[in-house]
Every structure is written in structure tokens, then in C-alpha cells.
Structure 1
Amino acid sequence: MQRHVLSVLVENEPGVLSRVVGLFSGRGFNIDSLNVAPTLEDGVSHMTITTYGDSMILEQIMKHLHKIVSVIKVMDFADTPAVEREMMFVKVQAEGPMRGEILRTVEIFRCKVVDVSCNEMTIEATGDYGKLEAIISLLQRFGIKELARTGSVAMRRSKKVD
């Protein structure tokens, strides 16, 4: 199954989120992450939806999204150059000599320690999906106690001028 990141511009009105999410669940399609925020244009919001599935099912979902009156524009970034980022907090067990190793890992990935206690550290990390998965993989050996992720935010890359 392929990972798809969808950018959906919608009118910011009651019920639009419910209609979009209902479209996915009604067809048995799971949403991996969902991020919604206002745009510069009044009354318009930007949804970034991350999901997995084959391209035939996704094509049907996109066609149905276009039929929702409140949906302005839909774009799948699978075949479009895009910038994608996500933010997460990871709380890890951090006692004694492990602290130094955790700090080196944090430095390598350009993360920030945002909270510390005598036996835990909370780390803030920002990056694309692959980077965050790599950080989680490395921090698991210390004992991850809690994890919170924002979900992806994506935007089409600017066209390059020759």
C-alpha cells in the first residue's frame, strides 16, 4: 500500500470536517493523520490528510471529495513535489548515563529538549515522516513513555526557474 498525503482546501463552515471524514470511513478507508487550520483567506481552511491505500481507491475518494460542496480544491502529493513536516513530543526514560546518549541523539537530529525531570526528558522533534520514524526507532531503546504527534502539514513545492 502506498502512503498518500492529500491537501484539501475547504470552506470553513460547520460540518465540513465531519463530511470529509465520513467520506473516508464510509468507504472503509483509514485516515492515518489529519491536520486542519485556517488559511490566509477568510473562511477557508487547509486540511492535510495522510492515508494508505492503492491508487484506484484513492482516485474514487478524490472524486467524491470534489462532489462535496464545501471542498474547493483537492491535491494528492504522491506524484507532486511537496514539502512535508510534522512535529512531535517524545517523553523518554532518562536516568543516569542514558541522559548523555539521549542528548547526543537529540543533537544529531536537531531536536530540542523541552522538559526535564530527574528521570524523564521530553523531546520536541520536527521533520518529515521518515525522520520522525527514525528518531522514534532510536529512542525506543531508552524507553518511550509517551508520544504525541501533530500529523503532517504539506504544501506543493515552488516551481524552479531554469
Structure 2
Amino acid sequence: MKKRWICLFVENEIGVLARIAGLFSAKAYNLDSLTVGRTEDETVSRMTISLTSDDKTFEQVKKQLNRCIEVIKVVDYTGCAVCRKEMMYVKIRGCSDKEITELFRLSQVAGTRVADYGRSSVLLESVQSEEQNEELIARLKRDYPGRIEIVRGGSVAAEAINQEDC
């Protein structure tokens, strides 16, 4: 079992997302992440999907997606050099003045930004790789146990230009 990435170009029509998600749920495939948005062509949307599967299951997924009439193109990013980022917000509650100062410092070092803050709370915004966000979460859970709230969006990915991961 390994982490897989797939990109779909689909018709930008009502119900396409539900049909694609339904395909995964009908076969009991679990998605780790799914993001979707319009492309430069307003009639086409791009889906970035990550899942954990074995080779056989992943090949079945790709074949089933290629059979969907709304799917224009399927691109397998597994093993390719891609630029991949995930959007995440983390709210830390019940902070002292000293902790707020420390969170401002942490945001500079960790490559995040303070999106909002108040008397006793800080909202961090992180647009990094899933792995970097996992490391940040682990640190915040350790340093601020029981006081964090996490909101994560799925990862988006594009093929790298220089053949190196971004």
C-alpha cells in the first residue's frame, strides 16, 4: 500500500463531483484528499485526488475513471515530480501573552502566517506539503494539548517543470 496521486480533467457540470465521489464509495475505496476547481477553460474542472492503495486497486480505479463519460483526461502523478501543497488553518485557543508571542515566532520559522489573532487565540495559515503540515500539527499538539482546532483542505498538485519536487 502506498500513497497515490491522480489528476482528473472533468466536465464542469452539476453532479460530476458527486458521481466521481460515488464511484469511489461504491467500490469502498477510501480517498485521503479530493480537491476540485475550474481551470483556465470554464467548461473544465480539475480534480486532484489522493488515496492509499496497492497497485492492482489503483489500476482498477484509473480504468473506472477513464470509463466515466464526464472525465476528459486521467493523469497519474504517482512517481512523477509534482508541486503539491495543502491549505490548512490551525486555531490555538487559551493562549497567554507569552504563548501568542511564541506562536508569532513559530509562524516565521515554520513558513506559516498568522491569519488572525485575539486576546487569547491565534489562527495560523499554512500552505505547505501535507508532510510539513503533519509536522506542524504534531508540534502544536505537543505544545498546546487540547487547545487546537484544525481545518484542512485537500492537496492540489501540478507537474513540476524542472522535474524536481516543489
Report the TM-score, using the length of structure 2 for normalisation. Answer: 0.90
Counterpart for residue 152 of structure 2: 149
Q: In the alignment, residue 147 of structure 1 is paired with which amino acid?
A: I
Cα distance between partner residues in 2 of 1:159 and 1:134: 26
For the 8 Å contact 1:7–1:74, the answer to whether it is kept is yes
For the 8 Å contact 1:98–1:142, the answer to whether it is kept is no
Which portions of structure 1, spanning 4 or more consecutive aligned residues, are displaced by more than 3 angstroms?
Answer: none
Q: In the alignment, residue 71 of structure 2 is paired with which amino acid?
A: V
Cα distance between partner residues in 2 of 1:98 and 1:138: 14
Unaligned runs of 5+ in 1: none
Counterpart for residue 68 of structure 2: 68
Aligned residue-pair number: 160
Cα distance between partner residues in 1 of 2:42 and 2:104: 43
For the 8 Å contact 1:36–1:47, the answer to whether it is kept is yes
Counterpart for residue 35 of structure 2: 35
Deviates more, 1:137-146 or 1:65-74: 137-146
In the TM superposition, 1:66-145 aligns within 5 A as 66-93=66-93, 94-140=95-141, 141-143=143-145, 144-145=147-148
CA RMSD in angstroms, aligned pairs only: 1.4
Report the TM-score, using the length of structure 1 for normalisation. Answer: 0.92
For the 8 Å contact 2:84–2:156, the answer to whether it is kept is yes
Note the C-alpha offset of 1:7.
Answer: 0.6
Give secondary structure in 2 for the equivalent of 1:98: helix
Counterpart for residue 53 of structure 2: 53
Cα distance between partner residues in 2 of 1:108 and 1:145: 19
For the 8 Å contact 2:100–2:120, the answer to whether it is kept is no
Cα distance between partner residues in 1 of 2:162 and 2:103: 39
For the 8 Å contact 1:3–1:53, the answer to whether it is kept is yes
- Identical counterparts, % of pairs: 33
Give secondary structure in 1 for the equivalent of 2:154: coil
Q: In the alignment, residue 76 of structure 1 is paired with which amino acid?
A: D
Counterpart for residue 18 of structure 1: 18
Deviation digits for residues 97-151 of structure 1, max 9, x if unmatched? 2223222221111211111111110000111111111111111121343111111
Note the C-alpha offset of 1:159.
Answer: 5.2
Unaligned runs of 5+ in 2: none
Counterpart for residue 9 of structure 2: 9
Give secondary structure in 1 for the equivalent of 2:139: helix
